[in-house]
Amino acid sequence: MPDRAPAERPRPVPGHGGSAALGRIEERHLVPPRVAPPLDPGFRPAALAASRFASRVRAARSGRPVWLAVAQPGGTSSHHESWVFEDGPETASSARFVERDLTFLLWSRGGCRVHVDGPAWLTAALTRHFRTDPVGVFDAEMMGPTIYGAPFEVVSTPHADFPPESTAAVDLGGHLDGCRVGFDLGASDRKVAAVVDGVVQFSEETAWDPGRQADPAWHFGQINESLRRAADHLPRVDAIGGSSAGAFVDNEPRVSSLFRGVPVDLFATRTRYLFRDLQHAWGDVPFVVVNDGEVTALAGAMRVGAGSLLGVAMGSSEAGGYVTSDRLLTSWLNELAFVPIDLSPAAPRDDWSGDAGVGAQYLSQRAVARLLPAAGIDTPRDMDQPAQLVELQRLMARGDARAASVYETIGVYLGYALLQYARFYRIDHLLLLGRVTSGAGGDLIQETARRVLQAEQDRSATQITFHAASERDKRHGQAVVAASLPRIA
C-alpha cells in the first residue's frame, strides 16, 4: 500500500465555520476517537466533545443549564438542553458548543423562531451569529424566508414560557393498493418504478445533472419523461409518490440542491410549484413528494415492522429521515447533510452552507472524492464524483486495500455520526441506502460503524440495530417505497 496523506482539510477561513462573536472550541476540549479513521487522523467527533464538555460544566460551580427551543410556524416545537459556564475563560467555548447544538436542532427539526433560556450574553452572541457570520446568515435565510416564509429570530424566553414540545406526525406510506408510479430524484441520477398492488412491474435509473440547469421547464420535462416511461407499464395510474433531495413543505420544494441553477425569481414563481404542475399533468391523481431521507426511513420501517428508525441515504449528498415509535413520519426537516459531526478546527467546509464538519462532507460521494487522494488513488481531474465512486467500487471488488481504507474511514465517520444523532433522536433501528453503501464497501462501512459503537460503549448508551437492504433496494428501493406514499381515496 502506498504512503497515505491525511484527507485534505482546508485551513479555517475567518467568518466560515466560526464566529468572532462566539469564539472557537479550544483543542483541549476535543476528544480523539477510540477508533481512528485511517485516512483522517484529525477527525474529532462532535458527540464525544459535547459529552465531555457537558460533564465538566455540570460539575463546576459556575455551570448552568441552557434550554433551547426551535419552533415552526405551524406550532410544532422541539426542545434541547445544553450547558454553559456563566462566567470565566470558558464562556467562548460554551457559546460555540451551544451554537453547534442549535445548528443541529435547526437542521434536524426545522423552525424559524429560536427560544433561548440562558445568560443574556449567550442570547446576544447567538443573535450576532445569525446576523453577521456567513454560516449563521445562511442558516437564518434558509430557516426563515426560504423554507418557512417567515422572519428568522432568536428571542430570550424563560423555559417555563417555551411553546410546548410537540411533533406533527403524518400517516404517509405503506399504501400498496392500485397502480402506482414512484420516483426518486438525486443529484446525479433519477429513478422511477411502476408498482401494481405492491409488486414492481418496472424500474429504471437515468443519469442526469439537474444542478446545472436554469430552466424549470427542463426539470419538468425530464421528470415527466420518467413518469411516462413507468406509466407505459401500467394499465392506469392511480397515484404518484416521489422522493427528492431538499426540504419540502406541502409538496413544494423550498430549498433543494437539484435546483441550484434556477434563478431565484424563476424558482419562486415556477419551480416551487413544479410538482403541483406535474400532478395536474397526470389528471390530479393523489400525488405526494417528500424529502428522500424520509423515504429511506419509511422503507426501513416497512421492512422492519418497527419505529424509532433513522434512515440515512448516502448518495450525492447525505439524506436523513426519521420514523417515530408509532411508525409515523413527522414535520421535522431531518436535513442531516447540514448538521455538524466533526469539531476539528481544520474540518472540511461544505461548498453550499460554508459550515465546517457537517454530514454532507463525510457520508456521501463528496466524502469519497475527498478521501481518494489520501488513499493514494489517482483519478482524472475531469472525472465527476459518481464516476469516482464507480472506480472506488471497482477497486474494492478487486480487493484493493486502498479502496478498503476509504470505506473504513467512512464507516468510522458513520459510527461517530450516529453517536451525535442519538443525542437528538431516539434510534432503535438504522437503515442505510444510497450508492455509497453498495457492494462490499457498504458492508465494510456498516461493520466499521458497529465497531465504533462497541468501542465507545462506556462513553455512550447508544444501542442501535442495523438493517441491511438488498443491492436492488439500495439503488432503486427509494422509488418503490415512494410509490406507497399517497393514499388512494
Do 130 and 201 have their domain in common? no
Both 227 and 304 in a single domain?
Answer: no
Report how far residue 457's alpha carbon sits from residue 443's, in angstroms, rounded to the nearest whole number: 22
Q: What average pLDDT does range 382-407 have in this prediction?
A: 97
Single out the residue in 99, 134, 161 at which a domain terminates. 161
Same domain (yes/no): 370, 236:
no
Say if 480 falls within a structural domain.
Answer: no
The domain total for the chain is 3
- State residue 213's pLDDT score: 96
Residue 470 banded pLDDT, cuts 50, 70, 90: low
Counting Cβ atoms within 10 Å, is residue 386 exposed (0-12), middle (13-18) or buried (19+)?
Answer: buried
Residues 450 and 344 in one domain: yes
The verdict on 212 and 251 lying in the same domain is yes
Q: In terms of pLDDT, which residue wins out, 232 or 19?
A: 232
pLDDT at 78: 96
Mean pLDDT in the chain?
90
Which of 119-123, 173-177, 344-348, 483-487 has the lowest average pLDDT? 173-177
Calculate mean pLDDT across residues 13-17. Answer: 35
Reported confidence tier of residue 475, pLDDT bands at 50, 70, 90: low
Give the whole-angstrom CA distance, residue 427 versus residue 438: 23
Is 99 part of a structural domain of the chain? yes
Q: Say which amino acid occupies 53.
A: F
Residue 476 pLDDT: 52
User: What separation, in Å, do the N-terminal and C-terminal C-alpha atoms of the chain show?
Assistant: 60
**What pLDDT does residue 412 have?**
98
Q: How far apart are CA 393 and CA 22, in angstroms?
A: 42
Are 347 and 396 part of one and the same domain?
Answer: yes
Q: According to the model, what pLDDT value does residue 10 have?
A: 41
Residue 15: pLDDT over 50: no
Q: What angle do CA 33, 429, 478 make, to 5 degrees?
A: 105
The total of other beta-carbon atoms located within 10 Å of residue 400's CB is: 16
For 20-36, the pLDDT digits (tens) are: 357 678 889 999 999 99
Tell me what pLDDT residue 4 has: 40
The per-residue pLDDT for 18 is 37
Q: In this structure, are 299 and 286 located in the same domain? A: no
Could you say which of 291, 308, 335 is where a domain stops?
A: 291
429 shares its domain with 348? yes
Residue range(s) defining the domain that contains residue 138: 61-161
Residue 182 within any structural domain of the chain: yes
Say which CATH number the domain at 213 has. 3.30.420.40
Q: What is the pLDDT of residue 471?
A: 60
- pLDDT-derived band at 169 (thresholds 50, 70, 90) equals confident
Residue 3 lies in a domain: no
pTM given for the model: 0.87
Task: With respect to residue 382, please indicate whether it lies within any of the assigned structural domains.
Answer: yes
- Percent of all residues in the chain with a pLDDT value above 90, rounded to a whole number: 75
Joined together, the cell numbers standing for residue 271 give 419551480
pLDDT at residue 20, rounded to an integer: 38
Q: What would the mean pLDDT of 176-205 be, rounded to a whole number? A: 93
Smallest Cα–Cα separation from 83: which of 103, 71, 100? 100
**264 shares a domain with 323:** no
Mark whether 300 and 439 lie in a shared domain: yes
Q: What pLDDT is recorded for position 477?
A: 67
State how far the Cα of 343 lies from the Cα of 355, in Å rounded to an integer.
11
Question: What pLDDT score was predicted for residue 309?
Answer: 94
Which of 138, 161, 184 represents a domain boundary (last residue)?
161
Q: Show Cβ contacts of residue 349 under 8 Å, excluding neighbours closer than 6 positions.
A: 10, 13, 16, 17, 355, 356, 361
Task: Specify which of 168-172, 223-227, 313-317, 470-474 reaches the highest per-range mean pLDDT.
Answer: 223-227
Q: Name the pairing type of β-strands 63-71 and 77-85.
A: antiparallel
Sorted by sequence, the CB contacts under 8 Å of residue 359 that are 6+ apart come out as 318, 320, 336, 337, 338, 339, 341, 417
pLDDT per position as a tens digit, 79-128: 999 999 998 888 989 999 999 999 999 999 999 999 999 999 999 999 99
Verify that 442 and 351 share a domain, yes or no. Answer: yes
Query: 391 and 323 in one domain?
Result: yes
Residue 379 has a pLDDT of 96
Which carries the bigger pLDDT value, residue 161 or residue 472? 161
Does residue 414 fall inside a structural domain? yes
Q: Residue 9: inside a domain, yes or no?
A: no
